[in-house]
Structure 1
Amino acid sequence: MLSPSSGLPGLFPLPYELGLRRLRDDFGLEAVEYELTPASAYRDVDRPWEEPRTFETEPDMEPAEGWSWHNADRVVEGAGWGGSLETLSWLLMADRTVQPAVSYSGNVLFLETSEEMPGAQEVYRILRSMGERGLLKEFPALLMGRAKSWSFDNPLTAPEKAHFRSQQREAVLRALHEYAPDTMAVFDIELGHTDPQVVIPVGGRIRVDGPARRVVVTY
């Protein structure tokens, strides 16, 4: 689940899994597995809210190329942890809410970048800092959300958008190669700042099956 506070990784020392279990017990809910599937189309071009037509017509969608996999030769299952890459970088700089790296051992990391569209170099530098802190190597799997590649301040063309996303992917792979060469990664998951969006259960179980190319989350 996501909440206004759950988007802040490591905010609470209580393991997220225990919190989810407590909610299920209190409300008599059963854990539910849900398989994520690649979208056939996506949208990241915003429309002006001040225009009535924005709310009268469906937004234009673009073809999605599906997910891309890296080191997809194993099955990883662990608690989900992560969020906005930029927000996580601020929390790391503050050094107040992120737990010691070993606390996340075996978890599944998920990350996405915001509508501010940080460049590939910035993405690499943040991940490099996480690597120097010993964080990246603790996660045997990474789910990377599809990068938002258009904004009113930076309205890229279709070829420019594709290049932007490709450069970000290469930046992530560069950091993984240097600090977590064995980590499995899945790119362009439908989480973050593009549509459609899936809800990732912070603290819920995530199973990443590389050989079968499947991702299953538990709420």
Structure 2
Amino acid sequence: MLIPPRPRPGDRVAVLSPAAALPAILPAPFDLGLQRMADELGLVPVEYATTRKWGSSPAERAADVHAAFADPTIAAVMTSIGGNDQIKVLPHLDADLIRANLKPFYGLSDNTNLCAYLSNLGIVSYYGGTVMTVLGRYGSTNPHSMEALRAALFDGGWYELRPAERWTDMGKDWADPANLLEEPEMFPGTGWQWHGGADTVEGDLWGGCLEIVDWNLRAARWLRPDHEYDGHVLFLETSEEMPSASYVYEVLMCLGERGLLQRFSALLMGRPKGWELEHQTTPQERTAYVEAQHESVLRAMREYSPDVPVVLDVDLGHTDPQLVVPYGGRCRIDPGARTVAVHY
């Protein structure tokens, strides 16, 4: 796997919306994120034609991806946020152009599509670090998220992930800019849950948002041959759509029936998002939702891959803090020491 050159403070960074152009509808958190990109990271954000163009076509969004990668003055590519149709962008991409112009790419959720695409080209990308969710966070940036983002952006090397001391899956209405002044409600850390194998494992990371992985499995266009995932570390997390525990189990079941789930050496499962502005659960409902998803994951792993380590509630998805993991990069899991390290 190729690790693209890293940006340095002062460099220009492309800010794209290859999934949904939510900055067009919710500009306040996006503009705040751009300001913090400059103030806290020392990077110069550069917008493209579709960054704020709601309803842009897949071909238009692909053209912006090409422009960003081809521009020699652009040192990295960061996404505004996720979406729900980026898989339609992939057929328009020029693999040769992207491979010839290595840039670190940062994205989450629907951007699983582009991360997997880059992985297929042998290029490491970074799952996390979206502008609106990390840099445009309510109140202030989360120090835990920013530590991981800076390590991935600027430092490289091995970085030890750690459980969040405080976390949240709650937010406020982005349509009201006044909400951006208030810190989100945070909860005490719960640590990680460890299950399965006892041996240390190391492998390249693959996965992302479980729903988008499911899409790619159904489309059967953007996956490598199954045997090429041998020994990889699978990482998954679920989105703000809060899929049911039965759906999560069924996706993993189908991975198992395909014979693919058994090829992975470990599973990192992100903390489930159990509350959403349009689905406001009680604390009891949130706990029940999370526990049901945990059991569905563990059930599938017991049935298809019982001897590998499984780590639950890693903060690598739609909750806060949002850690960064290298998609296609190395990951080392030590169940004895209960540590997880990634190589940026």
The TM-score with structure 2 as length reference comes to 0.58
SS at match of 1:191: coil
Given candidates 78, 101, 107, the residue that maps to 2:226 is 101
2:303 maps to which residue? 178
Number of residue equivalences? 210
Matched, 1:11 2:114: no
Aligned-residue offset at 1:72: 4.4
Alignment of 1:3-82 (within 5 A): 3-4=106-107, 7-8=112-113, 10-12=116-118, 13-16=120-123, 31-82=156-207
Alignment of 1:146-185 (within 5 A): 146-185=271-310
Aligned-residue offset at 1:181: 1.3
Aligned-residue offset at 1:6: 6.3
**CA deviation map 1:40-76 (0-9, x unaligned):** 1111112011223311121110112110001141101
1:198 maps to which residue? 323
User: Which one-letter code corresponds to 2:117 in the other structure?
Assistant: L
Is the contact between residue 173 and residue 277 of structure 2 (CA under 8 Å) also seen in structure 1?
no
Distance 1:120 1:168 in 2: 5
1:26 maps to which residue? none
1:88 maps to which residue? 213
Alignment of 1:124-163 (within 5 A): 124-163=249-288
Is the contact between residue 207 and residue 215 of structure 1 (CA under 8 Å) also seen in structure 2?
yes
SS at match of 1:90: helix
Distance 2:261 2:212 in 1: 16
Distance 1:6 1:179 in 2: 28
Distance 1:69 1:137 in 2: 18
The structure with the larger Rg is 2
Percent identity reads 45
Cα pair distance change 1:2/1:190, threshold 3 Å = farther
Distance 2:254 2:176 in 1: 42
SS at match of 2:297: helix
Given candidates 236, 251, 258, the residue that maps to 1:111 is 236
Larger mean CA deviation between 5-14 and 172-181 belongs to 5-14
2:78 maps to which residue? none
The TM-score with structure 1 as length reference comes to 0.89
Unpaired runs of 5+ in structure 1?
Answer: 21-28
User: Which one-letter code corresponds to 2:106 in the other structure?
Assistant: S
Is the contact between residue 197 and residue 307 of structure 2 (CA under 8 Å) also seen in structure 1?
no
Given candidates 332, 337, 340, the residue that maps to 1:207 is 332
Cα pair distance change 1:58/1:67, threshold 3 Å = same
Aligned-residue offset at 1:216: 0.5
Larger mean CA deviation between 50-59 and 102-111 belongs to 50-59
Unpaired runs of 5+ in structure 2?
Answer: 1-103, 127-153
Structure number having the greater helix percentage: 2
